[in-house]
Structure 1
Amino acid sequence: MAVIVLKMTDAGLAAVQAASGTDPVEITELGLTATAFDYAPTLTALPGEFKRLDVASGVATAPNVTHLTAYDTSGDTWTATGLGLFLADGTLFAVHPSADPIMTKVALAFGLLAFDIAFEADLAANIAYGNAVFTYPAATEESQGVAEIATQGEVNAGTDDQRIVTPLKLAALLAALLGPVTAAIGSLTASLAALLTDVWRPSNDGAGSGLDADLLDGRHGAWYAPAGQVAAFAMAVAPAGWLACNGAAVSRETYAALFSAISTEWGGGDGSTTFNLPDLRGEFLRGWDDGRGIDADRDFASFQADELKEHAHGLKISTELYASHDGSEENDRMVRASDAPQANYISAAGGTETRPRNRAVLYCIKT
């Protein structure tokens, strides 16, 4: 597209230089000519002008550039080789001479001129335009056209369907909307990461991690053995995370989870900083009756000495006879064993306690 260069007249330049942003000059009309002419700054009329159009709209696009449009909706047919701009008072503001046609219109066509004017100085703010009775058609979803750019407030409100959203304003809205969500996701991710440090994963399996998939099947050891659980071990030393049930006084702070579980049930330690572990050395364990009535009147964790249930033993005594004979008839007699002096008793047998068959193991408690 060829560039149309407009040259200002002396009268037009003087009018702009005398104007200001609060009292600008007003371009209201555009004249067309088909007559060739030479530019002269002293021109006051457009040579060979055959048609005058109203300026439809205009706006300053830079300190020294102004953009304007004019249109012709008549059924006229014409060809223009030059044009001129006129102020509201009729002053010829600027002209464009050309030996070649710059625009042709036929009867059925709609004529529209749109161009930029560049000034040598920052004068664009000193120019206004006549009443805008035509602009480019408004943009719709079906056709191209002109649309206003939405403000950030309009973008945020999200209720205007006529204005255009720019990428920058959309990014600002998304940042405002998604910022809290992103922060929440980050916080949740951090929380999950902290929780997963105690759950088996291939990345934390092995020595030093405290987790072993072969032993724990993917779960933390505390899931299998909570603090306070008592278990028997086939070794003489308590494993990691366990203490031997030997009645020792241990720190309430160091073993806080265990103290929370059993408190001073098995002994209060020094009464302030320690507590006692159960002492199960050499003991058999019995389920707490807890109101069932089999082992009634027992407190939890209480000691019970050995005892035999009340029972009876039968004693069988045989009667024997023996004869006494001294050779005389009167002295011959039979004597019953019961008449003879005798002692009957059950002999004591056994050890120092009553017990079943057993094997010695190490009872330990989970810390």
Structure 2
Amino acid sequence: MSEPFVGEVRLFAGKYAPVGWAFCQGQALPISENEVLYTLIGTTYGGDGVTTFCVPNLTGQLPIGQGQGPQTSNRVIGQKLGTESVTLTQAQLPAHTHTLSVSSNPATNIGADNNFALATGPVAFYNSGLANSPTKQRLSPQALGSTGGNQPIPNLMPTLSINYIIATTGYFPSQG
């Protein structure tokens, strides 16, 4: 294997970081023992910049390139984005309607017929007291309402855990 550039990040399937490499787990390293790597990444990922600096933390993270792609905001090196779970609110859902066709006839079969919801069942589908309501709301409150439990849902793509390592020794990458 060729000698890496200091600061180069690679995927590694081993359980330990090889000599000259460190896991990308956000740990602080002493500047005095890693001056070349500190020169390249500074305190982008943390540290006090006097005695310590941190390597990137890629545990549970997905790296993306810096810069601005089509239809994306600018991504700055070291910036964290995203979340593991999301709770959607009504304000985040697009405006939409649901058409509901109903019949006041009793149900005569188990399945819906002609895409109609039938009125007979354990919960009253209609509210007969509102038949002449100026708002024309004729369905019972049990038939209408908000849905959902206001619980977060997972927001993770399928993943496989593997280690990221960063070279602490090797060639100094020249610019250009």
Could you say which TM-score interval applies, normalised by the shorter chain? 0.5 to 0.7
> Which residue of the other structure, out of 30, 40, 44, is the alignment partner of 1:261?
40
Deviation at 1:305, TM superposition (A): 2.8
**Is 1:286 aligned to 2:64, yes or no?**
yes
Q: Alpha-carbon deviations, 1:297-330, whole Å to 9, x = none?
A: 332211113387965376443323147xxxxxxx
| RMSD of aligned alpha carbons | 3.0
Deviation at 1:293, TM superposition (A): 4.5
Count how many residue pairs are aligned between Structure 1 and Structure 2: 132
Amino acid at match of 2:21: W
Match of 2:36, SS state, is helix
**Is 1:355 aligned to 2:133, yes or no?**
no
Q: Residues 316 and 293 from structure 1, CA distance in 2 versus in 1: closer, same or farther, beyond 3 angstroms?
A: same
> Which residue of the other structure, out of 314, 320, 338, is the alignment partner of 2:103?
320
Q: Residues 315 and 347 from structure 1, CA distance in 2 versus in 1: closer, same or farther, beyond 3 angstroms?
A: farther
**Is 1:305 aligned to 2:85, yes or no?**
no
1:98-247 matched pairs, under 5 angstroms: 216=1, 221-222=2-3, 225-247=4-26
1:73-112 matched pairs, under 5 angstroms: none
Deviation at 1:249, TM superposition (A): 1.0
Tell me which structure has the larger Cα radius of gyration: 1
Deviation at 1:344, TM superposition (A): 4.2
- C-alpha distance in structure 1 between counterparts of 2:152 and 2:12, whole Å: 27
Q: Residues 340 and 265 from structure 1, CA distance in 2 versus in 1: closer, same or farther, beyond 3 angstroms?
A: closer
Q: Residues 252 and 356 from structure 1, CA distance in 2 versus in 1: closer, same or farther, beyond 3 angstroms?
A: same
- C-alpha distance in structure 2 between counterparts of 1:345 and 1:229, whole Å: 51
Amino acid at match of 1:339: R
The answer (yes or no) to whether the contact 2:22–2:165 under 8 Å persists in 1 is: yes
State percent identity of aligned pairs.
23
**Is 1:343 aligned to 2:144, yes or no?**
yes
- C-alpha distance in structure 1 between counterparts of 2:72 and 2:45, whole Å: 20
**Unaligned 5+ runs, structure 1:** 1-215, 324-335
The answer (yes or no) to whether the contact 2:7–2:41 under 8 Å persists in 1 is: yes
Q: Alpha-carbon deviations, 1:162-190, whole Å to 9, x = none?
A: xxxxxxxxxxxxxxxxxxxxxxxxxxxxx
Match of 1:276 in 2: 54
Match of 1:253, SS state, is helix
Amino acid at match of 1:357: P
- C-alpha distance in structure 2 between counterparts of 1:301 and 1:238, whole Å: 22
Question: Per residue, is there more helix in 1 or in 2?
Answer: 1
TM-score (norm 1): 0.32
Match of 1:364, SS state, is strand
TM-score (norm 2): 0.61
Q: Residues 314 and 287 from structure 1, CA distance in 2 versus in 1: closer, same or farther, beyond 3 angstroms?
A: farther
Higher relative contact order (CA 8 A, sep 6+): 2
**Unaligned 5+ runs, structure 2:** 107-124, 127-136, 169-176
